Structure 1
Amino acid sequence: MRTKYVTTKLSNGQKIYQVDHPFCTATISEFGGQLLSFQDQQGDEWLWLSKSAIKDGSKAIRGGVPICWPWFGPNVDKTLPQHGYARLVNWALVSVEEDEFGVQLTLQPDFVNSKYEIHNLSLFMKIDLGTSLSIQLHTENISNFSVSFSQAIHTYLAVDDINECSISGLNGCVYLDQLKNKISHQENDLVLNQWTDSIYSNVQSPITLANRGKTSKSIDGNGHDSVVIWNPWQDGARLLSDFDDLGYQNMICIEMANTGTTTLAPRQSHTLTQVISKITS
């Protein structure tokens, strides 16, 4: 496949797709089909990647944009991996479309040559890179019976200082505090000051991440039933061997997700989209 803006390289024994376009640069790991870095035309990094991340293919990569599929969180069968199989297999680069405005990559997970078997669902992903960042997950039921699944675009966004950030667009929404197993209502802008793991429902408008003194970002989406907000704070970070102890200060996860049950009839499909854009004044 010959392209103008996409090349491949090896890092830690793993294939990396490198995008160098006038509007942006990006790196995507073949393992997990995972976007690891996205820098805009000004060289600002939009994504956070743990300095302690394991990138040799032995476990999911901590940071960037992992794909949670075909389930979000733990499976009923506790022997199966957290957040599903998609982030644990290699993804083939199926096609590249590119022009002066950006690059679109289509990738598909290779379950056939992995230890994980998926017989009833198919998945492919489109990543659009330019002045904004868009990811689409397209799931189709390829079986002869109804199939249920859940998913998330588990985006680790980079911030200069979590203490100087606020999130608007969630005011009035109902959320489940997963740490306390408690349902609450969001009042006013969300400011994080502790370990946070919350699932917001009935989110109607784009979410704005304001990073004091820096350019704000809009996070929008389609095909989702919820938005997940996560930051492990220092206590949670210390429990994760691949998460820098102080890394929580420079990241926040804002994820378009289907954390409830999505059921597809035979040959029915579903697309989950997340779009991140700069807000210019």
Structure 2
Amino acid sequence: MITKIFALPVIEQIAPVLSRRQLDELDVIVVDHPQVRASVALQGAHLLSWKPAGEEEVLWLSNNTPFKNGKALRGGVPVCWPWFGPAEDKALPAHGFARNLPWTLSAHSEDASGVSLTFELQSSDETRKLWPHDFTLYARYKLGKTCEMELEAHGEFEVTSALHTYFNVGNIADVKVSGLGDIYIDKVLGGEKGQLTDGVQTFPDRTDRVYLAAEECSVIHDASLKRTIDVEHRHHSNVVGWNPGPALSASMGDMPDDGYKTFVCVETACVTTSQKASTDKPARLAATLRVAKNG
């Protein structure tokens, strides 16, 4: 799918290294820079891919996900906001509405090290039907050798949220994640609390854990691709580790049956503690991704 995005015809050349293209129903901003290749769907301000020069793709994107208006995309970095997980009202979309709505590209800049993009979403009659608050939400991406992501929410409200990042891995059986802390809520087991014995998460089957005291940096150890990825978290209360495992993966229409083998989700999140935004102080959630080692 990522290869397909970069082969799309250019609809608008925004800057020498920045263009707008279209995949099925959705507009995609494509970054083709000497230091980095990346792509972002305007729907959801959804980072689809990030590949620093000389590296393998860092993010995973499902080849089966439909690029349709209002349909959540599977892979990359979905923006979960203003709630994480299922809503209390089952008629409302899971993980909020921000990832299903079109955003605007409100600013961009380019230099020798990479590209910075700012996307904006504002409250509307449509959003107020789902959530009765006025807001302005910004998603900022600084894309180069590192990937810096930040959500900034203006208004007066409380939210839960996540940068639900899907990482490309060689084989989930060879993946370990460290820096998550010990105590977690196990959503596969209905919310039971658990504890890691050695501080390292592996993924032998379906895994869905909300970590309660993660370190500032989670590290993905990928033996198959012979690399580690640092995930630095900021303004978060939790880190979520997720992989659907074989049975759930096979049941998901927007994922290949064996899709679970080639990604792991390590999510910067505020799940157990909500974030407060006020007139004086916006709510923020941020992460920095870095490929730490090859060889």
Inter-partner Cα distance in structure 2 for 1:48 and 1:84? 21
Q: How many Å separate the matches in 2 of 1:261 and 1:216?
A: 30
Are the aligned partners of 2:154 and 2:278 in contact in 1 as well (CA < 8 Å)? no
Instruction: Output aligned runs, 1:104-123, within 5 Å.
Output: 104-109=116-121, 111-112=123-124, 115-117=126-128, 119-123=133-137
* Number of corresponding residues: 275
Question: How far is the alpha carbon of 1:272 from its aligned partner?
Answer: 0.7
* Alpha-carbon distance in structure 2 between the residues aligned to 1:17 and 1:192: 33
What's the % identity of the aligned pairs?
Answer: 28
Deviations 1:69-111 (A, max 9, x none): 0000111111111000100100100000211011110001254
Alpha-carbon distance in structure 2 between the residues aligned to 1:36 and 1:170: 25
The question of whether the paired residues in 2 share the 8 Å contact of 1:89 and 1:111 is answered with no
Q: Is the 8 A contact 2:216 2:233 kept in 1?
A: no
Determine if the alignment matches structure 1 residue 270 to structure 2 residue 283.
yes
Alignment partner, residue 140 of structure 2 = 126
User: Which residue does 2:40 correspond to in 1?
Assistant: 28
- 1:8 aligned residue: 20
Q: Which residue of 2 aligns with 1:54?
A: 66
Deviation of 1:266 after TM superposition, in Å, equals 3.7
Counterpart pick for 1:155 among 146, 153, 165? 165
Give how far 1:37 is off. 1.1
Q: Equivalences for 1:1-281 in 2 at 5 Å?
A: 2-109=14-121, 111-112=123-124, 115-117=126-128, 119-141=133-155, 143=156, 147-171=157-181, 173-180=182-189, 181-188=191-198, 189-213=200-224, 214-259=226-271, 260-280=273-293
In the superposition, relative to structure 1, how do residues 120 and 228 fare at CA in structure 2: closer, same or farther (>3 Å)? same
CA–CA distance in structure 2, aligned partners of residues 240 and 111 of structure 1: 31
**Considering only aligned residues, what root-mean-square deviation do their CA atoms show, in Å?**
1.7
- SS class of match (1:79): coil
Paired amino acid for 2:281: Q
Counterpart contact for 1:32–1:90, Cα < 8 Å: yes
Measure the CA separation in 2 of the matches of 1:265 and 1:104.
26
Distance 1:56 1:258 in 2: 28
Structure 2 length-normalised TM: 0.89
SS in structure 2 opposite 1:243?
Answer: coil
Structure with more helix by fraction: 2
- Name stretches of at least 5 consecutive residues in structure 1 with no aligned partner: none
In the TM superposition, residue 5 of structure 1 has moved relative to its aligned partner by 1.6
Length-normalised TM-score, structure 1: 0.93
Given residue 204 of structure 1, which amino acid in structure 2 is its aligned partner? E
Q: C-alpha displacement at 1:279, in angstroms?
A: 1.0
Runs (5+) with no aligned partner, structure 2: 1-12
The answer to whether the 8 Å contact 1:3/1:96 transfers is no
Q: Is the 8 A contact 1:71 1:83 kept in 2?
A: yes
Distance 1:4 1:223 in 2: 34
**Deviation string, structure 1 residues 215-265 (Cα, Å, up to 9, x no partner):** 211011110000001100111112211111100000000000011222234
- Residues 150 and 261, structure 1, Cα contact 8 Å, conserved in 2: yes
Name the CA distance, whole Å, in 2 between partners of 1:95 and 1:221: 24
Larger deviation, residues 128-137 vs 196-205: 196-205
DSSP 3-state at the match of 2:188:
coil
Which secondary structure state, in structure 2, belongs to the residue aligned with residue 63 of structure 1? Answer: coil
Q: Is the 8 A contact 1:170 1:186 kept in 2?
A: no
